[in-house]
Structure 1
């Protein structure tokens, strides 16, 4: 069993999203936000995963299948309370390290998780907060450090002094904890409910770790995008456009021709060989592999397929199939 595990918080309703889906199941570039987080964690070497579910949890469970265990947060009483629901999972992983992450943070990437873990181990801290530097940190918890760079406190917007609120380093909501230290501070004596909201906050667990004399650090992500989320449909669309543009740019830089990106959607799990041309209206999603020297499109939809070298796919639908080298598909074919 890997010494690395994860607890992913996915119980939120997201009322402002105006959807019949739980918030974490809303898609950014053809994949649920929860899927982005899980893939990033797996890429960093995380083994067992526990997902804390709540609102419309059956949809989340159906998506996960056997990929993760789930526990239910029946009442939404804060992030700390959500992690308490995973206590049995944590007990089974004593001696290891746990990533705590929000399931609606699609730009928390593998490199950031890995780099934060490396710092966590090197410093010997009991908790490492993944942080980011923002030009406008309003609304985020500020990371207050000691002179030697350790975390002294996480101060929320409504509680900070003018000096503290001038700090631009903010909490992303993702953490590495030593499992034993986290379990030590999860009891109500350390993680008391807020007198104002009645909720238990995970930031209080960081404060509790400090109070028992254990080390607390923060890893500042290379990009502030790790804190990005969506609180309404417009913001969700903006996240999708950011992801779409980045992935298209990455493929162009690797030798793929996309002469007109209008209507082109390429999922994060798609691999494309050199000198392939992607034409307008093409959608590539799922675990897709496209060979070299292909012409895909216009208006091709390819989902979870393996396409060989030198293939032409014109105005056709392909789902879960393999296409050999130098084949021509379409126009107007449907293969599944």
Structure 2
């Protein structure tokens, strides 16, 4: 392998039994992404090449979920500790002689700036090992950092193997390291498992580096929150809250308004323009892009949509995999299903549902309407209660309504059907045939009035 400056190994083999889930722990979602995507993103931002993902429990599912990421996969078939997990990556890194960053697939809150600081310290000090540490008031469950009288790191002791004095220490190991390769693999190859857990401890590499006369450095986090691991559903919720707080703070710094940030839920990777206001209960997911000057909410759900400038999406509306042009009003209680494309200056109002609908500029459907598998031109007005009947029980068909058509209320279009431009469809019609341009089309039955019918019926009942 060609020598590289920085490689990464991400440990993602654990079962995560405390999650009480059939899903591999590292695939549980956080802010719209699998948990393991966050350390993978850090490795990409730092330019790590290669990045090796060590998988184990649910290996096939993890491979499938991360198939499009730029990483190599190696499998840890036996869960024999962190040292063994890194050793499993040795073959994929054969010949590598740069710096090796070790990350954990269940530690999603680390910041890029923190790892840059760790890398800078490691290289300035020409260390064999540099460990990221944190000060915790309650260090229960963590390995302790043992220093000498001068403050140099001498060892990391796992809690189950620690003495009473060592357990009293509050500086803990976060499990994030930088190693000099191939030194780390040479040490790991000779490790034993003579400890309380019968595992190959990665922490033993620290003592080996000290014994070899090498330098071991430590960078202590200023915010211990970054090092939080996720082992159960409670911790998953805590991490979710931290990530969403960071996302919302970044959006507000960029000019996005939020009435109540704690009640606004935006996925990682969503882009929103300045002067857009997000009202409480808004949920924005996936690869959504929202322009400037929009008002969203309250209680709106948007999933993988593209929304232009100056769009107003009112209470209770749901949008998925749709495109919305500028100066458009949506809702309240509208539902844009996948494949909807609004050109702009549209109104999709109360209880209107669209699906695979291409709707031209300025066209409107103000209330109680279903527009599915259809194409509307510009300036079309859809009356209340209109339905495009697109499905015959076997196949789906399209309705085409050309420019400047006016559709009266309670109209049904039995697809496939085309309505020519500048036509008028009378209210209450069922349209089964194409309508030429500039036409009036209606299909009402003749109204019949029988005067006095109610009086005669009442008299008959009374006498009967």
For 1:8-23, list aligned pairs within 5 A: 8-23=10-25
Structure 2 Cα separation of the partners of residues 322 and 41 of structure 1: 33
8 Å CA contact retained: 2:24, 2:58: yes
Q: Does 1:226 align with 2:226?
A: yes
| Higher RCO by CA contacts (8 Å cutoff, separation 6 or greater) | 1
Partner residue in 1 for 2:442: none
Partner of 1:246: 246
CA distance in 2, matches of 1:313, 1:96: 52
* Structure 2, gaps ≥5 residues long: 340-464
1:80 positional shift: 0.5
User: 1:1-336, aligned counterparts within 5 Å?
Assistant: 3-67=5-69, 68-92=71-95, 94-187=96-189, 189=190, 191-261=191-261, 263-314=263-314, 315-319=317-321, 322-330=323-331, 331-336=334-339
Contact 1:172–1:226 (Cα < 8 Å) also in 2: no
CA contact (8 A) 2:145 2:156 kept: yes
Query: Residues 102 and 174 of structure 1 are in contact (CA less than 8 Å); yes or no, is this contact kept in structure 2?
Result: yes
Question: Which TM-score applies when normalising by structure 1?
Answer: 0.91
The 10-residue stretch of structure 1 (306-315 or 204-213) with the greater mean CA deviation from structure 2 = 306-315
Deviation at 1:257, TM superposition (A): 1.6
Aligned Cα root-mean-square deviation (Å): 2.2
Contact 1:277 1:296 (C-alpha < 8 Å) held by counterparts: yes
Once the two structures are overlaid, the 10-residue window that deviates more, 274-283 or 170-179, is 274-283
- SS of 2:258's partner is coil
Structure 1: gaps of 5 or more residues = none
Q: What secondary structure, in the 3-state scheme, does the structure 2 residue paired with 1:71 have?
A: strand
Contact 2:132–2:221 (Cα < 8 Å) also in 1: yes
Instruction: Name the one with the larger helix percent.
Output: 1
* 1:282, distance to aligned residue in structure 2 (A): 2.1
- Structure 1 residues 182 and 33, CA gap change in structure 2 (3 angstroms): same
Give 3-state SS (helix, strand or coil) of 1:65's partner.
coil
- Count of residues in correspondence between the two structures: 332
Shift of 1:274: 1.6
In structure 2, the CA distance between the partners of 1:259 and 1:196, relative to structure 1 (3 Å rule), is closer
What SS class does the counterpart of residue 200 from structure 2 fall into?
Answer: coil
Specify the structure having the higher radius of gyration (Cα). 2
